[in-house]
Structure 1
Amino acid sequence: MDEKQPMVKKRSIGNILLIVICLIAKNVQANQAWEKSIETLIFQGQYDRAVEALNKIKQTFAPTSKNYVQAIVMQANALKAMGRHQLALDLLLPIVPIIVQCPPEISVRFYNTLGNTHAFFYEYRKAAQKFERSMQIAKKAQSQVLICQTLNEMGLLYSIHANNEKYARKAIQAFTRAIQYARQIQEHENHFLAQLMVNIAKVYARNSIQQDSNLKKTSLTHASRYLSSLSDSYRKGCLLLDIAGLYAYHKLSDNAAEEYKIYNEVRRINDSIHDNSLESLLNLRMGGLYEQANQYNDAITLTQKSVFYAQIIPAAHILYLANWQLGRLYRKTGHIKKAITHYGNAMEHLTPILQQIYHSDLTQKNVFERKIKPVYLELSEIYFNLAASEAGQLSPQFYTNSIKNVWKTMDKVKSAELEDIFDDPCVAYQKDDKLQLDRPLDSTGVIYFIPFPGQPGLIIKLPDGFKHHRLNIQTEVFNKTIYRLRDEIPNWGLFESDAMQLYELIIAPIYNDLKKQNVQTLVIASDGAMRMLPFSLFLNAEERFLIEEFSIVTIPALHLTRLGQTNRNTPNGLFCGITKERKVGNLKFDALPRIAEEIKAIASVVPGDIYLDEDFTVSTLKDNIAEKRYSIVHMATHGEFGSIPEKTFLITHDGHLTMNSLEKLITQTRSSAIDLLTLSACQTAIGDERAAFGLAGVAVKAGAKCAIATLWSVDDYASKQIISDFYSNVYQKNFSKAEALQKAQLSLIEKIQFWHPAVWSAFLVIGNWY
């Protein structure tokens, strides 16, 4: 910073904890001391230190003691805050048998923690059961405090679905009942009551139950007034910052007057308590408010202070937000180099805490789209604009470097998104031959579509270098075209006009370059709404589909694509299918009578093992994949690809198979990836762009070099034709996978009853196309 920094006393929390741990080792009666120390760490976001300290603290207690259980619960909460929910669950489940011996306050805290851990895994019924158990214990103990805590947990569970009015009302009812109990608690400093008031306001923020904004404002006013009666503390300051944020969300304050008033109160509080974390958060929020008012110099000064105090703690989550804010501010003021530096700092602080951000608050939706992706997209656009600048035009090396920086930045965000979709921090890690940016690709063009907020952009990797251009359309208008066409195509609707417009926007500006360099295969890395639509159905002025000129491949990202050699000489397949009607939970799946014919036709081309209907079970897959080295796994069954893990699965005879389970079956019994994973006849419910990206990432997740899948349900006769032709083209005629699918699709286009793209364009080659 250019300005003189204020003097700050730096805390040595680690040293304090070591002292506390030593005291506990000598005197178990120091119970309150260690709990308060751990709570301080957790409250200030020092989760890793809390976990480390609790590992030592647990060793001082007997494994059946209440203090041991208390330490386990606190450690589980710290792990959950870090996004490590499975480890938290692994800690909690083994001590269920000893909870009966614990006093009510520890039992209730245990079951509430276990309940919201189940909620993270979308096991809402289990979560509700644990909260009901907590309520039984709390009522039996006649404890208003414990009843209040459990009602709050129930309210938070309902809040996960607060966009649904039914659950939003249930959440508000639970919080309201909790407030009634909280008012009866004889505590001088009842921060919990204020927290409950804020929780109700957060539910209103996510559901328009009450259209009267005065009532929303009233709920915040009550919370603010109650907080004013409490003594100054870090928690009071944080709750006030939450309230200020909700005023902004509801747009309830005129000219940000209420927000300024609250921020001034938080400033007064911290002048008395001198908390670095609160100081950092306050300056961050105020900097954001000045940014909205276009007072950029003041905003920069405040945000720099936020960075300074966050570095003292240190607090990665604040550092990422503050550096992102500085990146935006410097970009708006034309300081591009400084902007790039701070965006880079933001990503550096963001990467280690991605899981923490995704899972710290289950009631928050679209976290990736709101808090993660914009950081990368904004930096990418800076590099994109640099490539288009005069400097880029004058210096070929400057141009190439700028384009590569766009590409690398977008690859990073796609890795982060796959981690979020599959809830797997390791999903983007590839051990074998990855497709590198500088790798020459003969007769191949790679197209990166980037949904910048104003106008979409394209980056094209050609055999002789890179090109880029902006689409001559606003992103909002472009997205409407995509969604309209996506709705029409599967229903055999009209498509020609929109398909021609997309061709003119995306392909026409680069067509001459593609032909000049003899490009025969287009590799597409889509983003945004464009993920929901195959490029193959684009239509030129002569009414020829793009697939008639180029074979087309889909990849999630360059670095997520395995190349390597495929086994063409001795292929060995595992062919599974469901031909009969199946019901899983409340979902009913129709019979697929042609599946048996499809698999029989494939098996005549590629040798392998066949398992249909009753023989197609999870245990069959597990046993066979473990014992035999299949190069092909073919599943002709219904399935769904949603935007969250529990909505992504394949149907088996004995239930369903998630992508996590499929990955474990394939990767834990093999030293190398399978060559081909085919998902045929799937009812792929691609209702949004995240689900479509999850489909594009299925090969990555399942440990396969290549996958064949569909963007929507397809006539089973057409599916049988395309799939069987594909296998014949690959394993008998020795075409690449991209060419094999292209020829199979062209064979249907030539037939008058199957020419419509609803029939053939849904099929995708994903990943290694050789």
Structure 2
Amino acid sequence: MIYKNYRRLLIFIFSALLGLLSSLTMPAWSNFSSLHANAASPLELAREGEQRYNAGELEAAAKLWEAAAEAYEKVGDRDGMTKSLINKSQALQDLGLYPKACNTLLQAFAIQNPNCSQIQIEQLQKNLAQKSDSLSLTQAIGLHSLGDVLRRQGLLQKSQEILQLSLSSIGESAEKSGVLVSLGNTERILGNQIRDRWDYDVVTDIIDRKSVVDALGPYNQAVNYYIQATKVASAPPIPKIQAQLNQFQLLLEMKRWWSEQTQRRIASWARFSESKLIQRGKDFLSGLELQLSQDAQALQNQILPNLATLAPSRAAIYAQINFADSLMQSGQINQVEPLLENALQQSRTLQSRRTETYALGYLGKLYDKQGQLNRAIKLTQQALILAQEQDISGDAREITYLWQSQLGSLLRKQGDPKGAIAAYTAAFNILQSLRSDLNANNQDVQFDFLQEVKPVYLELADLLLKSNLTDKELNSLMVSNSIINREKSENKNSQKRLELARQVIESLQLAELDNFFQDPCSETANVALQIDNIDANAAVIYPIVLPERLEVILSVPGKPLQQVVVPISEQEVNETLDRLYDNLDNLSINNSARNILSTSNPNPQELKENLQTLLPIFGEVYNWLIKPFEAELDPKQIKNLVFVLNGRLQRVPIAALYDGQNYLIEKYGIALVPSLQLLAPQQLEKKQLKVLAAGVSEQIKVQGQFFAALVNVPKELDQIQQTFPASEKLLNQEFTIKTIQKQLKSNFPVIHLATHGLFSSNPQKNFIITGDGQSISINELSALLKEPGTTIELLVLSACETATGDERAVLGLAGMAVRSGARSTLATLWPVGDASTAQFMGQFYEDLKKPEAKQADALRKAQLSLLESLKLNPPFEELQNLPPHPYYWASYVLVGNWQ
């Protein structure tokens, strides 16, 4: 048998989920040369595996390479075995089986009992780093593949480090370009994380300074790697064009994101006639778009001729589809059809079913954009059938999901709501099944949440809420985890429809929480919980913001679900909530309450005008969420209102909703929950209740930053100890990570932390300060509170605040509590003076002590005590005849279990 002395070109697999081409180096060899005369059998297995892989038969390829690896091992050919295992791992990656792919790679590196744990990865990294100068090309390629797997599992830092090690040991071989593309892909996702965790003020500051450099900063390293990848002289054409395609798509994404963010700021500034800021925003955006457009056009001019030179292959097909999708995103649809038709033809010539389903699906997307609905539907259905044919063991769910979702959208446009509901339900069920995979740390199925996942939930809820499906049609939907209480109403059909919609919204909340933390941070109840099962004196309100209307579902114990339609568009809702934020807490607006009250000598007239502006806005939100249900919310039965909020509603201080005479807190207790399914509903055990109360009262310097003294903290902690004598107090230097850890062994059900801290979407910005000048990150705090044997019922974060303008920070609070095992969290949306905090907390714990008091009751009474004292002693004479300003008292929120 003649062995050809060449290496196979790199194989690149399209990732529709991340919008990237993921550079992969497998199968790495068509030449399995061996010193052993009896090695023909393993060689034949390896080559047949390659043939099956090239034909798109991935499972068969993986099994053949596994058999080849075993055969090579028997004849003592370690190199042949390693190559076969690396190739097997590639097939597993393509199937989406990333944990298995990772274990296979560790096996290739001779790791015993591989389980892809962080310890094993770090040990391998340490061992290979010590001999990086002498690593073989086989090992370098194995590291490249491992770096790709780790990225898909969300382990971005490790992916980056492993790929750097691969790069340093791969030399100037043809594979260097592929490693650089992979590094670019990892850096791009790291850049997304940095950008998405900027709070409102950081983005505003970049726009205000017109700093294009800072705006593009998170992606500098990704762009550098992509550019380097195109300059590797020995590289084949595919990795070079892959780098160009990924960079092109990144430029388009940055342009879209910054346009949305800048237009939002300009709208805020326009409300306050901030002409200078408006002009700065426009200047920033025009400068940034000019630079990005020029760079994108230059790349586009290179990509088109480069694509034309590629020989037909799966990699070339994916490259054409990737480019076609980018052109559609940039509005250049006139150039798309030839690319996709060519990709489809090549797929059929090569008999590649997977590439064919993508080509058909994206052609459907193109015809949708051109208004050719019938053609779009037909092609999407063909793509879906092909995807389902390949979904032998659930390994093509992500492809199936894409086309079910697209089909739902198309059928809705065509005026077939029943067909659209069926398609969206199928997509929804796939997303629910993929959520269970996330628990196995398979994070590549975390689609672009805002662009691809959230719309499926909202579209399905939208269609269900206005559908007139029959009983049989509703039963046939079989929504995941759907248990409907059929005895709840005489109008069973209507109740099923609303119950399904409610469950979809609950699932959206869970999906958003998973996406926020980049892992499923919570176990959920295995049934669809309803308020009847939790609290007979509470009602749950689900506001659902849809493009053309606001829907609100009310769940009251023992009564049918109720639905109200508010005829207001999503744009109007967001504009109203932005006005509320601008006037209340926006640091970039001079006359926001936060800026007025942060000065040493606040202007009473400005504060009065601010309150007179805010009250009608709080009234408007009250009219949306509460007024339609006033007759149902009898305060004699309903004591607490529980809100499941999403989007910009999450940063609204719900307690301050205003009916024209009273604030909502004056009628009901208020709690926020991300989802009823996350609750472990039970009332706080008051007998022998004790609190671990820790705080910092002195001015403290942490990492060069000074934090002001909180002089009322000792009083706050003393009050807690007087109320609950079994409590433990840790003040200033006594409050350290070690002392907290030691005290937690005594099992305190309530943890009270009175210190500086911040909660935001950015884990690096989430911290609390200890008395020895250290900062504890949220992850560290969560781990600390989750020590074996500890059960935290309530975590109180006094003096901490949630990040300004960060709509997902409250979600972070909820998730942090869930992750740490705390059933609920009490925190503030904005900074509160420590004198009023001490008063508030004293009252809160006094009421919490009462045998029948729920946490929401105690919170309500503490807020009412602040309200009453402000009514009796207003801070300024000008405010005498007005309700107390919400900024003084409405910041406190209870997230999670309210009982």
Shorter-normalised TM range: 0.7 to 0.9
Distance 1:760 1:299, change over 3 A: same
Q: Secondary structure at the match of 2:686?
A: coil
The residue that corresponds to 1:678 in the other structure is 796
Letter in 2 for 1:615: E
The residue that corresponds to 2:460 in the other structure is 379
Letter in 1 for 2:691: G
The residue that corresponds to 1:413 in the other structure is 508
Deviation string 1:584-603 (CA, Å, 9 cap, x unpaired) is: 54765333222121111111
Determine whether 1:759 maps to 2:807: no
Q: Secondary structure at the match of 2:681?
A: coil
Alpha-carbon offset, residue 444 of structure 1:
2.3
The residue that corresponds to 2:581 in the other structure is 486
Determine whether 1:157 maps to 2:157: no
Alpha-carbon offset, residue 460 of structure 1:
0.5
Alpha-carbon offset, residue 142 of structure 1:
5.4
Do 1:224 and 1:240's aligned partners in 2 also have CA atoms closer than 8 Å?
no
Determine whether 1:477 maps to 2:550: no
Letter in 2 for 1:445: A
Letter in 1 for 2:633: L
Distance 1:357 1:560, change over 3 A: closer
Deviation larger for 634-643 or 717-726: 634-643
Counterparts in 2 of 1:84-163, with a 5 A limit? Answer: 89=121, 92-93=124-125, 95-96=127-128, 99-100=131-132, 102-103=134-135, 105=137, 137=169, 141=171, 145-146=175-176, 149-150=179-180, 153=183, 157=187, 160-161=190-191
Q: Secondary structure at the match of 1:592?
A: coil
- Take 1:308 and 1:232, find their aligned partners in 2: how far apart are those partners? 24
Alpha-carbon offset, residue 234 of structure 1:
0.8
The residue that corresponds to 1:396 in the other structure is 491
- Take 1:93 and 1:486, find their aligned partners in 2: how far apart are those partners? 47
Q: TM-score, normalising length from structure 1?
A: 0.85
Choose from 679, 689, 699 the match for 2:807: 689
- Take 1:319 and 1:300, find their aligned partners in 2: how far apart are those partners? 15
Counterparts in 2 of 1:302-701, with a 5 A limit? Answer: 302-314=379-391, 315-354=396-435, 367-386=448-467, 396-429=491-524, 436-439=530-533, 441-463=535-557, 464-490=559-585, 491-492=592-593, 493-494=610-611, 495-515=614-634, 518-542=637-661, 544-585=662-703, 588-606=706-724, 607-625=726-744, 627-652=745-770, 653=772, 655-670=774-789, 673-701=791-819
Q: Secondary structure at the match of 1:620?
A: helix
Q: Secondary structure at the match of 1:552?
A: strand
- Take 2:448 and 2:520, find their aligned partners in 1: how far apart are those partners? 16
Structure 1 vs Structure 2: percent identity of aligned residues?
24
The residue that corresponds to 1:296 in the other structure is 373
Alpha-carbon offset, residue 157 of structure 1:
2.0
Letter in 2 for 1:279: E
Deviation string 1:420-446 (CA, Å, 9 cap, x unpaired) is: 222332424359x99535427433221
Which blocks of at least 5 consecutive residues in structure 2 are unaligned?
A: 1-54, 196-214, 256-287, 475-488, 586-591, 594-609, 876-883
- Take 1:353 and 1:461, find their aligned partners in 2: how far apart are those partners? 29
Distance 1:650 1:356, change over 3 A: farther
Alpha-carbon offset, residue 554 of structure 1:
1.4
Deviation larger for 507-516 or 194-203: 507-516
- Take 2:629 and 2:719, find their aligned partners in 1: how far apart are those partners? 40
- Take 1:266 and 1:485, find their aligned partners in 2: how far apart are those partners? 50
The residue that corresponds to 1:79 in the other structure is none
Distance 1:37 1:122, change over 3 A: closer
Alpha-carbon offset, residue 155 of structure 1:
7.6
Distance 1:550 1:170, change over 3 A: same
Do 2:152 and 2:443's aligned partners in 1 also have CA atoms closer than 8 Å?
no
Alpha-carbon offset, residue 405 of structure 1:
0.7
Distance 1:698 1:760, change over 3 A: farther
Letter in 2 for 1:502: V
Do 1:155 and 1:172's aligned partners in 2 also have CA atoms closer than 8 Å?
no
Distance 1:601 1:121, change over 3 A: farther
- Take 1:602 and 1:113, find their aligned partners in 2: how far apart are those partners? 55
Distance 1:332 1:585, change over 3 A: farther
The residue that corresponds to 2:272 in the other structure is none
Distance 1:579 1:117, change over 3 A: farther
- Take 1:448 and 1:349, find their aligned partners in 2: how far apart are those partners? 24
Determine whether 1:206 maps to 2:253: yes
- Take 2:657 and 2:299, find their aligned partners in 1: how far apart are those partners? 52
Distance 1:530 1:715, change over 3 A: same
Counterparts in 2 of 1:1-80, with a 5 A limit? Answer: 12-13=59-60, 14-27=62-75, 28=77, 29-30=79-80, 31-43=82-94, 45-47=96-98, 50-51=101-102, 53-54=104-105, 58=108, 62=110
Do 2:191 and 2:219's aligned partners in 1 also have CA atoms closer than 8 Å?
yes
Q: Secondary structure at the match of 2:801?
A: coil
Alpha-carbon offset, residue 729 of structure 1:
1.0
Do 2:522 and 2:678's aligned partners in 1 also have CA atoms closer than 8 Å?
no
Counterparts in 2 of 1:728-743, with a 5 A limit? Answer: 728-732=846-850, 734-743=852-861
Do 1:434 and 1:560's aligned partners in 2 also have CA atoms closer than 8 Å?
no
Deviation larger for 314-323 or 699-708: 699-708
Alpha-carbon offset, residue 226 of structure 1:
1.3
Alpha-carbon offset, residue 174 of structure 1:
3.9
- Take 1:302 and 1:147, find their aligned partners in 2: how far apart are those partners? 35
Determine whether 1:749 maps to 2:867: yes
- Take 2:523 and 2:546, find their aligned partners in 1: how far apart are those partners? 23
The residue that corresponds to 2:300 in the other structure is 220
Distance 1:283 1:90, change over 3 A: farther
Distance 1:25 1:733, change over 3 A: closer
The residue that corresponds to 1:80 in the other structure is none
Alpha-carbon offset, residue 191 of structure 1:
0.9
The residue that corresponds to 2:597 in the other structure is none
Q: Secondary structure at the match of 1:574?
A: strand
Alpha-carbon offset, residue 699 of structure 1:
3.0
The residue that corresponds to 1:281 in the other structure is 358
Alpha-carbon offset, residue 531 of structure 1:
0.7
The residue that corresponds to 2:830 in the other structure is 712
Letter in 2 for 1:195: Q
- Take 2:155 and 2:66, find their aligned partners in 1: how far apart are those partners? 38
Q: Secondary structure at the match of 1:650?
A: strand
- Take 1:415 and 1:374, find their aligned partners in 2: how far apart are those partners? 14
Alpha-carbon offset, residue 657 of structure 1:
2.8
Q: TM-score, normalising length from structure 2?
A: 0.73
- Take 2:713 and 2:821, find their aligned partners in 1: how far apart are those partners? 25
Q: CA RMSD in A?
A: 3.7
Choose from 179, 194, 204 the match for 2:230: 179
- Take 2:328 and 2:757, find their aligned partners in 1: how far apart are those partners? 42
Letter in 1 for 2:462: E
Figure out how many residues of one structure are paired with residues of the other and give that number. Answer: 729
Alpha-carbon offset, residue 291 of structure 1:
2.3
Alpha-carbon offset, residue 577 of structure 1:
1.2
Letter in 1 for 2:638: V
Determine whether 1:232 maps to 2:321: no
Alpha-carbon offset, residue 259 of structure 1:
1.1
Do 1:99 and 1:107's aligned partners in 2 also have CA atoms closer than 8 Å?
no
Letter in 2 for 1:766: V
Do 1:532 and 1:686's aligned partners in 2 also have CA atoms closer than 8 Å?
no
Distance 1:245 1:210, change over 3 A: same
Deviation string 1:595-624 (CA, Å, 9 cap, x unpaired) is: 121111111101311112222222222222
